[in-house]
Structure 1
Amino acid sequence: MEFLSSIVGLIPCFYDHTSKHTVYIRDLKQKLQALRKEMAELNNLYEDVKARVQGAEQRQMMRRKEVGGWICEVEVMVTEVQEILQKGDQEIQKRYLGCCPRNCWSSYKIGKAVSEKLVAVPGQIGKGHFDVVAEMLPRPLVDELPMEETVGSELAYGRICGFLKDPQVGIMGLYGMGGVGKTTLLKKINNDFLPTSSDFDLVIWVEASKTKKIQKVIWNKLQLSRDGWENRSTKEEKAAEILRVLKTKKFVLLLDDIWERLDLLEMGVPHPDAQNKSKIVFTTRSQDVCRQMQAQESIKVECLSSEAAWTLFQKKLKHASLLESYGLREKNVVMHDVIRDMVLWLYGECGKEKNKILVYNDGFRLKEAVEILELKDVRRCIVGSEC
């Protein structure tokens, strides 16, 4: 029975040599060489495309689906061709050894697979010449802003959140003296849109004190083209384009540090109303500006209470526990490493002319020793008007 099987397997070897079937067997060596050459070209192209994609992704771009599909197809093809080449080399090796294969059908199948890949590989090479391999990622709903921990602003924060949900409130102003935490509070509102799904289409943060840049910031956030900005020579033309886009969106515009009334419609920002349900929230030092901006709600951001200020200071001071222990044990607290931390923090927070703390730096360390009579003097310095 085994003998008959061998005879049957040899039948294709005696098939008419002019037939196309025998070409698969007869020219196997040359075709293997040609396939290796084509695969070398495909691999070079694959490496070039992959490098372009990786470079684009490092620039926060997203590979095009067409390119990603081509890369996957090439990786599958490489595996298939490697297997075919290995079997073809084994077949050639048998011929060199003078062996007649027991089953010529397997030689036919290998030769046919090689011929098919000689057609498929150049086709894959032709598909791999991409003009563009990646596109810019769409900007997120909101850009996260760095901020410090908020202390003592829970009441104002709660009111703001309530007004953001109130359809009757479109414009809201936060006012108060400088340094009371208005900007930090507005940043918290901005970042609150990060972890949750939102009914708003986008959140725009603008440092409003830089008035000339407000329109450009909004333009960029809307991902309008740079050419479009440059081709529109007037402020009115740019405003018309911004208005065209914003009218189709439910947005939140956060304006930090307004010093005077801003004509937002002149910049292309539509007025929030019950129909578009958009919101504008701004910070300012003046309650008058809130009225000029026609804010439906104005929230005064108060100075921290004594206890809240002391809590904030303790969080800033790495030796706060030591400071407490020194204050409780000794009537006189001497400026040393513990108090030095306090001075450095106060210097950074109060700064410039306000800072009257008598220390000096010789380039290496603080050397002046200042005596604070009681712990309450330290507290008064932190939360009182002198700072």
Structure 2
Amino acid sequence: MTMIVDIVLPIVMKIGKHLVAPVGRQFGYLIFYDRTIKNLEKQVQKLEDKRFGVQKSVEEAEAKRETIAPGVERWLKTVNDLNEEAKKFLEVEVKANKGCLNGWCPNLKSRYSLSRKATKKTQSVEELRREGVFSTASYPTVKIDYDGVMEALTDDSIYVIGICGIGGVGKTTMVNEVAKKVEEKKMFDVIVMVVVSQNPNLITIQGQIAKILDLQDFGGNNLPTGAGKIRSKILNFGRVLVILDDVWKRLELNDIGIPFGDNHKGCKIVMTSRNKDVCNSMGTHENFEIGVLHKEGWNLFKEMAEISDEGTSHPTGLQLTQMAVAKECGGLPIAIATVGRALRCKNKYSWDSALEQLRKSLVKNISGVDEKVFKSLELSYDSLDSDEAKKCFLLCSLYPEDFDIPIEDLVRYAIGIELFERIDSVHQARNGVHSLVDDLKKCYLLMESKNEEYPLMGKM
């Protein structure tokens, strides 16, 4: 009998120990209801104070025309969503049940449910507030005479502007910012922005322009006819800005329908290219060159890789490796972002391996594209956590450059190649694809599109 007691008693005590905590927690939801609700209100206010400080830093950075760190933008959006959700919970659900829950109330179920929800929301708020610590909220925009570009846009003697730089240096980011500022200042009646790419299809480009101009009767199959309709529509506007992104070779703009030469009237053209000679061949009146990042590149890399400034005055072996990896990115924003994000929170062995890979990678030499861009993307691809993510990226790579990829296409392909294990429905496959696409965007292997249903494929 003694032997049985000696064996059973420790087991019972162990079971009891594991049961007491959960049961106590469930009763705590009832007993400490008021304290729980007040704590949630307190933490929401603390998060709002933190958000205000970060937002001020963002506004100051924007005033200096710096680029906001992606992690900061995502954090602010998450904070706004969570704050709205928490306030709605406090103002609607808690307030609606206040009469019943004030003091003693027989409706213990409501009291328990609200207290439990409040506890979980408080945990989410506290976790998000802890995440809101950034080494920097922004980093300097790529080196370019931004004021010069804006000034050229107001100069009536200049109507063709070139922005030049190697692939991955940030030309598209630059023209997107120009378009945003021009729209805010209402400098033009309409802004037309299209991607040209390495092998342009003029009919496709015409179709994109016609859609932006809202040309209802646009045919779309005859180049001269389409050009005439586009030209007529553009000239009917007072002032038009046409942005041609990623031009690889000379284009006959008149063939597309873009007013050029003596008949340009109020139409101005901004183009980006990896080759200054291409801009000159297009008759640019002024060219602006984008350089790589230097000291500011290290700041961006630290933000992407979440590297602390602590101890950098006497760097450790890991920190020296991290600096060497950053140097291999060559000051190119796209390389810095992809490599930094891929190595975030990795150990020293991963950093050593990455440095070796970046130094030894042999890449195909393509005119206008720095080899460091290819190396960085290769490393980012190799660092993906799952085979599903890699296969999803390869599916996206089958599409043409700068193509808006329909999510539903990826869903069908994922089902066809049995990308996911234990998927029982199209709904589950769709959720899986959305999750993979989101991961690829966070790694900068896919670019954001204006349409949420289309994850734009990154360009080289």
TM-score where L is the length of structure 1: 0.46
1 or 2, which has the higher helix percentage? 2
- Using CA pairs below 8 Å that are at least 6 residues apart, which structure has the higher relative contact order? 1
TM-score where L is the length of structure 2: 0.40
Bigger Rg over Cα: 1
